[in-house]
Structure 1
Amino acid sequence: MGIVRKQAISNTIVTYLGFALGAINVLFLYTNFLTDAYFGLVQVILSASAVIMPLMAFGVPNTIIKFYSTFKEKEKKDSFLSLMLLLPLVLILPIGALSYIANDTIGTFLSQKNEIVKDYVWYIFVIGLAMAYFEVFYAWGKVHMKSFFGNFLKEIFCRLGVTILLGLIHFKVITVETFLVLLAAVYIMRMLIMKIYAYRLRMPSLKIEIPDDIGDIIIYSALIILGGSTAIVLLEVDKVMINQFIKIENVAYYSVAGFMASTIAVPSRAMHQITYPLTAELLNKKKYKELKKLYKKSSLTLFSISGLLFLLLLVNLKDLYSFLPETYTAGFVIVAWIGMAKVYDALLGNNNSILFNSDFYRAVLLLGVLLAILTILFNLWLIPKYGLNGAAIASFLAFFIYNSIKLGFVKRKFNMSPLSKETFFVLFILLLLGTLFYFIPFAIHPILAILLKSILIISIYLSILYKFKISEDINLLINQFLRNFK
């Protein structure tokens, strides 16, 4: 776990800096510098772009990670990477042609409830394209164990660009229309920078030789679209569907609550940057003992950290919402439902990496498609009935079913489970601290209340985990901190 821990820590720091910028944008700048309707419009554009991104990437990011380590000769590696640059065009070209020909029809469909969306279909295509090729070049870096710079671009670059653009709106340097154009330009620029960095790591060859296992590569790429689409549908389709049923301002309110809950997933996102290629390598070399160890350790570490973040979020939620405009303050239930989904996701550890890099990925992807459909049906049922809370419940139900199936699948096929007695000990401590601090009043300024509760909870929680040596990784981090402090 040495290389995992080192890069995961670096990626976690970058990811949290990105989330700090995101918090400034979502909780303060968007909510004060844009109207609720335009804030909702931005979220619909970005969410719709994210939904079509897996299609446009044609599964290539995952394909690079799975197959790159199987090529031993330099020429074959170069040829494989060059082929991966062209494969996304298989779907990008027809999607682009469809967007051009059916622009008015798509715009009319997306604007049934909110007319403001109609004129922004092309923004969705352009940003989706930039997202897709960014992920391709990012995977290029990952297989060379260079995930830090790509993670910086992914987590910080666009958010910093948004911060600057919102500042320009506030000082009336640009209009909202110009902001949307420049937002697309930021995503394109990020993709181009990642491309240059990837080429510096390994320049693609102009000569392309068709690999012997091209059939497996194409089939895997095509099927992984389903997996990527499933994950994105579970994450983003709720915002797009809210736009179809209720006023677009509600997308803004939902996005704020969803952003708060998404902070729980930061450790998972950071660690997965390096565990994904490492898992692929262990599977390719059939090192199942090491894989089982990585599975349990990643699950326990991520659950311990994500559970703590969820606890801190819940006990401080009322104070956090006191800083937002009143229209945004109805999101407690949303944060709770989405937060539980994120914690369950963390409990899986590197489960996704195991499934998508194994020979069983086809079955899991097909199950994922069924659950993506189920997610849409949940939203169709619950949003009209319960509004924003319905969207949050739909997301939780979809994640709960999907993750439960994946846990069972890995247990059945690999005889591995991430759960241990330490997992249940951590759960008990979280429930105990949550019950205790949720009902203790802190009649002081919200900022002081947040700081005091957070310090107390973190100190008690980490002391208990450290004393009972629950997580090897957490104990190592605490020991390292204590040595540096001394």
Structure 2
Amino acid sequence: MGIVLKQSFRNTIIIYGAFIIGGINTIVFYPRFLESEFYGMVAFLLSASNLIMPLTAFGIQYTIVKFYSSYTTKEQKDKFLSSVIFLPLLIALPIGFFWDFFHEWIMSKVAKENAIIENYTFYIYLIAVACAYFELFYSWTKVQLQTVFGNILKELWNRVVVMILLLAVFFEFITKQEFIYYLTIAYIIRAFVMMFYAFSMYLPKFYFKLPDNILEIIKYSGYIILAGSAGAILLDIDKIMIPGKDPIEKAAYYAVAVFIGSFIEAPSRAMTQILQPLTSKSLNEFNTKEVENLYKKSSINLLLVGGLFFLLVNCGVSELFKLMPDKGYAGGEYVVLMISLAKLYTMFLGSNGAIINNSTFYKITLPIAVGMSVTVYFLNTLFYFNLGFGTDGLALATLITIILFNTFKLWFVNTKFSITPFTPKSFKLVFIITILFVSFYFWDFNTPIIQIKGFSISPIINIFLKCILITILYVFLMIKLKISNEFGALLKRFYK
């Protein structure tokens, strides 16, 4: 786990730095500079591009990780990389050619009062293709076990660009309409930067010959396409469905709550980037013992870190919403709770997804992905449109879907490999998280109202005090009960 922890630690710092910048954008700049309607449109466009990105990528980002370590000679690796670099075009080009049809379909699903989307749908396609090629070249560097620079581009680049563009809107250097244009250009530039970096890591000799197992590669990519889209569908289809019933401002309100709830998943995103190639390598070498070792250690460490941030986010979210300028953002506490619970449960399962995606049983990802997509769609329709649960219903649909299908994946890996991610310490940790949540969720520090130039900083003080108290108690219990050897070793390095 040495290289895993080393790069995961760096990536976690980068991701949380990106989340802080994203938080400033989401909670402070977006609502004030773009206002709810235009922010809702931006959230809609980006969510739509996230939905079709896995399709345009043709699953190649996963294919590279699975197959690269199986080749033993440079010639085989070069043939493989020379081939996969062009495969996304097989889907991206036809989608672009028939975009008028997709445009009409999108507008048919949008309520009349949200016609602001009309002139911006082609940006969905451009961003999706740019993101598809970014992910391809990011995987190119992952198999070289170099994830940090790509993680900076993936997590920091867009958020920093958004901050700069929002400030440019505020100072009237650009218009709100130009914001979308320049943001799209930033996504395209990012893909080219990632490409140049990937080639600097490993520049193949380009062959016009297909690898011997090209049919297996295409077959795997076809199966994995929907598996790659499942995560995006679960969260982004919600924002796509909102304009079909309510004003697009609600997409902005929901996007903020989902962003806050997703804050806890940063360690998972950081660790997964290096766990995927290592798990694939262990599986290709038939080293089941190392697969199990990665499975258990990733589970306990992700739950440990994710559990702390789950507590910090949910126990301070009511105070956080008091800082929002638009009252429409308030009331999203249950959305935050359900989304963060879904993320925490996924983290609890460690490298479960990496094991399935990179094993010989990868075909199960197709029915799982289809099942998740269909389930969340029908549950969204039931809770949001039919029963009128509002955005709480969308979050509930996501939570139910993730619990059901992640539990199935847990059972599947145990059945095929006879391994689980759990240890006795896992359940001790779950108990600690539960007790601390119940203890701190229902009260806040009763600090006096303090205002600076009409802005109340009392919620900030309450959040700060509660976070300090929770963190001290949580870390003390982790050390006292020796929940994670890696966590203890990391703390000892700081003591020295």
Aligned partners of 1:338 and 1:395 also within 8 Å: yes
Question: Quick one: distance in 2 between partners of 1:192 and 1:206?
Answer: 18
Cα shift at 1:367: 2.1
Partner residue, 1:482: 495
Question: Quick one: distance in 1 between partners of 2:222 and 2:113?
Answer: 34
Aligned partners of 2:18 and 2:155 also within 8 Å: yes
Aligned partners of 1:63 and 1:217 also within 8 Å: yes
Over aligned residues, Cα RMSD in angstroms?
1.3
Partner residue, 1:268: 268
SS in 2 for 1:34: helix
Partner residue, 1:120: 120
For the pair 1:369 / 2:382, whether they are aligned, the reply is no
- Superposed CA deviations along residues 274-320 of structure 1, whole A, max 9, x for unmatched, are 01100000000011111111101100110111111111111111211
Structure 2: which amino acid aligns with 1:343?
A: L
Alignment of 1:430-441 (within 5 A): 430-441=433-444
Alignment of 1:63-74 (within 5 A): 63-74=63-74
- Superposed CA deviations along residues 457-476 of structure 1, whole A, max 9, x for unmatched, are 11111111112211111111
Partner residue, 2:455: none
Structure 2: which amino acid aligns with 1:383?
A: Y
Structure 1: which amino acid aligns with 2:340?
A: G
- Return closer, same or farther for 1:301/1:345 CA change in 2, 3 Å cut-off: same
Aligned partners of 1:242 and 1:391 also within 8 Å: no
SS in 1 for 2:98: helix
Partner residue, 1:248: 248
Question: Quick one: distance in 1 between partners of 2:200 and 2:100?
Answer: 35
Cα shift at 1:441: 3.9
Partner residue, 2:480: 467
- Return closer, same or farther for 1:113/1:379 CA change in 2, 3 Å cut-off: farther
Partner residue, 1:420: 423
For the pair 1:181 / 2:181, whether they are aligned, the reply is yes
Partner residue, 1:407: 410
For the pair 1:286 / 2:289, whether they are aligned, the reply is no
SS in 1 for 2:93: helix
Question: Quick one: distance in 1 between partners of 2:247 and 2:442?
Answer: 35
Structure 2: which amino acid aligns with 1:424?
A: F
SS in 1 for 2:109: helix
SS in 2 for 1:386: coil
For the pair 1:345 / 2:337, whether they are aligned, the reply is no
Question: Quick one: distance in 2 between partners of 1:342 and 1:438?
Answer: 18
Give the number of equivalent residue pairs. Answer: 483
- 2:432 pairs, out of 416, 426, 429, with 429
TM-score normalised over the length of structure 2: 0.95
Structure 1: which amino acid aligns with 2:426?
A: T
- Return closer, same or farther for 1:286/1:105 CA change in 2, 3 Å cut-off: closer
Partner residue, 2:144: 144
- Superposed CA deviations along residues 70-124 of structure 1, whole A, max 9, x for unmatched, are 1111122112111111111111111111114553444343455521112211010
Structure 1: which amino acid aligns with 2:470?
A: I
Partner residue, 1:305: 305
Question: Quick one: distance in 2 between partners of 1:18 and 1:371?
Answer: 29
Range moving further from structure 2, 99-108 or 281-290: 99-108
- Return closer, same or farther for 1:105/1:376 CA change in 2, 3 Å cut-off: closer
- Superposed CA deviations along residues 204-223 of structure 1, whole A, max 9, x for unmatched, are 43323211211111100111
Percent identity for Structure 1 against Structure 2: 41
- Return closer, same or farther for 1:116/1:476 CA change in 2, 3 Å cut-off: same
Question: Quick one: distance in 1 between partners of 2:100 and 2:257?
Answer: 34
Question: Quick one: distance in 2 between partners of 1:472 and 1:243?
Answer: 48
Question: Quick one: distance in 2 between partners of 1:469 and 1:11?
Answer: 24
Question: Quick one: distance in 2 between partners of 1:75 and 1:201?
Answer: 16
Question: Quick one: distance in 2 between partners of 1:100 and 1:188?
Answer: 21
Question: Quick one: distance in 2 between partners of 1:39 and 1:223?
Answer: 35
Question: Quick one: distance in 2 between partners of 1:130 and 1:218?
Answer: 21
Cα shift at 1:363: 1.7
Cα shift at 1:370: 1.7
Aligned partners of 1:264 and 1:306 also within 8 Å: yes
Aligned partners of 2:306 and 2:344 also within 8 Å: yes
Question: Quick one: distance in 2 between partners of 1:107 and 1:432?
Answer: 47
Structure 2: which amino acid aligns with 1:426?
A: L
Aligned partners of 1:355 and 1:410 also within 8 Å: yes
Structure 2: which amino acid aligns with 1:421?
A: P
Which runs of 5 or more structure 1 residues have no equivalent in the other structure? none
Aligned partners of 1:107 and 1:120 also within 8 Å: no
- 2:390 pairs, out of 387, 390, 396, with 387
Question: Quick one: distance in 2 between partners of 1:327 and 1:236?
Answer: 20
